[in-house]
A and B are shown apart, each in its own frame.
Chain A
Amino acid sequence: MPDWRRVKDRLFTVVTVALALLAVAPLFHILATVVVRGGSVIVRGGVSFFTDPPAYPGSGELGGVGPALLGTLWLGLVTSLIGVPLALLTAIYIVEYRESRLARIARVFTSSLLEVPTVLIGMLVFLVVVVPMGRYSLAAGSIALAIVMLPYTVSYVERALEGVPRTYREAGYSIGMTRAQVVFQVVMGIASRGVAAGILIGVAKVLSETAPLLFTIGSARGSYPTGPQSLLEPGDALPLLIFQFAQTPYSNWQDLAWGAALLLTLIILAIFALLRLLFREVKL
């Protein structure tokens, strides 16, 4: 007679493992496809893949994603300059002044921002920034991305700051530290890894966003944003290029989209590698 308990136990294990594999399979499929297809494009294009503008559609030549890559780097930089201080100060305010009514409102607002479709944020910035300026620009895109970044970074940093035991705050005050000194020298120091994670996760998140850029940066693929003055002009970004080129019937543009997808994936992975490398957990 079979031991039913054993059989059931086995069956349970097999089903769990199978379902888990089913869940991660698409992820591996996507990654593998991006690596294989994108990899071959980048190898074919060589250095010019990173530097050239895209070739004419259907021309048989490849060109590159230079302007989009540069645009994405600019967007990352400017979005961080706008978004990081805003997110940090918001998180600090929410945690350190949690009793105040404004802090409670800020907490509700930032977490609701998480639920707003990012395409709406793009439309908002279109109305508020692009229309008055009279043109698309990387700056407008950065503003949209900073708004998208805000709730992610705020909630991560908030959790990191809240994780710092109260006794360290008391210790800081007990030696005569001001509130600012306690926040910046004690709390942020102890939570540094969580804070850095919040910032980098926010940056990684927005670098791969497409929707907020649809109505804001204007997909200008021919020129390179070389300096700060280019921020007020239309530009391009990798996710936008992928989104638009993947829908075209031209095989050379589709190839560029695959290559850009791999490039974007590598940039995001590099950000997370950086986080692991540079910031260690503070041991209590």
Chain B
Amino acid sequence: MEPVEVKVSDLNVWIGGSHILKDVSMKAPPGAVTAVMGPSGSGKSTLIRVINRLIDLIPGARVEGKVLLGSLDALRADPYEVRRRTGMVFQEPNPFPHMTIYDNVAIGPRIHGLARGEELDRLVEWALKMAHLWDEVKDRLRDYPHQLSGGQKQRLSLARALALKPRVLLLDEPTANIDPVSTVKIERSIMEYAKTTMATVIIVTHTPQQAARISDHILFIYQGRVVEYGPTREVVLHPRHELTRKFLGGEV
């Protein structure tokens, strides 16, 4: 599978009457983690929902600009095709409550006819291992997710996304409501997935600490505009913009 660079140019998004994203341009390279950070309400979640076209589900949303996933023009392409190539993990853990742990991971490959039988079993195992959940659930794959803890549910949601081996993995504050142990495991999974498969990972976070821990690049958004973009080390140690400095210091 070839690496896919995500490239956003001159993106503007309106929802209802309000201008959510303003002339946003950014790049997220393959094999690396790009953190999108900024205070809440700055448009971070909207940005990744444009990348996988979940924005289409929001009534009254209007999008202008260009989003490229490798050579795929994401805003022009069939949204189902875009979403099949991208995976997403949401803020609240949302494994399907009516499906077993196994089925939650298997559902993606199944609906796209990618694997079955033993091949599917191996894929499910791979995804659960990648999400650092396998050891905790390998003896109860037929159980339902309501018996899992919040952090385990979130890792199951991650495994469900990974099972499709997405070239682009999007995460919307995946550890906001999660215990510290699971947070560490999720962060490790994300970095490993990016490095070992040359996937492009974009994570939305509202904590600069998390961005500093796991990302290679940081995009700082404030009130719908890109304030700063650069390698994580530089942005954290030598922020060029006053707003970034304030945000890192916890003042914004």
Contacts and interface: CB of A to CB of B under 8 A. Distances in A.
Interface stretch (B14-22, B28-36, B90-98): B90-98
Given A99-B59, A189-B99, A283-B146, A173 B83 contact: yes
B230 interface: no
Interface stretch (A5-13, A69-77, A164-172, A204-212): A164-172
Given A176-B112, A282-B97, A283-B144, A170 B90 contact: yes
Contacts, number: 71
A168 B111 contact: no
A31 B98 CA distance: 38
Given A167-B92, A283-B146, A174 B52 contact: yes
A167 B96 contact: no
Interface in B81-120: 81, 83-84, 86-88, 90, 92, 94-99, 107-108, 111-112
Interface string B143-164: 0101000000000010011001
B54 A175 contact: no
Contacts of A181: 111
Interface centre among A167, A169, A176, A283 (most CB of B within 10 A): A176
Contacts of B97: 168, 190, 282-284
Contacts of A169: 57
B57 A176 contact: no
Given A174-B83, A176-B84, A192 B54 contact: no
A282 B57 CA distance: 25
A175 B80 contact: no
B98 A174 contact: no
B96 A173 contact: no
A171 B161 CA distance: 9
Interface residues on A, range: 20 to 34
Given A174-B54, A189-B98, A284-B146, A167 B108 contact: no
B80 A174 contact: no
A284 B160 CA distance: 17
Given A282-B97, A283-B97, A174 B146 contact: no
Interface string B162-185: 001000000000000000000000
Interface residues of A: mostly helix, strand, loop or mixed?
Answer: helix
Interface string A165-205: 10111111111111001000110011010000000000000
Interface of B: 52, 54, 57, 59, 80-81, 83-84, 86-88, 90, 92, 94-99, 107-108, 111-112, 144, 146, 157, 160-161, 164
Given A178-B80, A185-B111, A283-B146, 14 more contacts: A169-B57, A170-B54, A170-B57, A170-B94, A171-B90, A173-B83, A174-B86, A174-B88, A175-B161, A176-B80, A177-B111, A190-B96, A192-B98, A282-B98
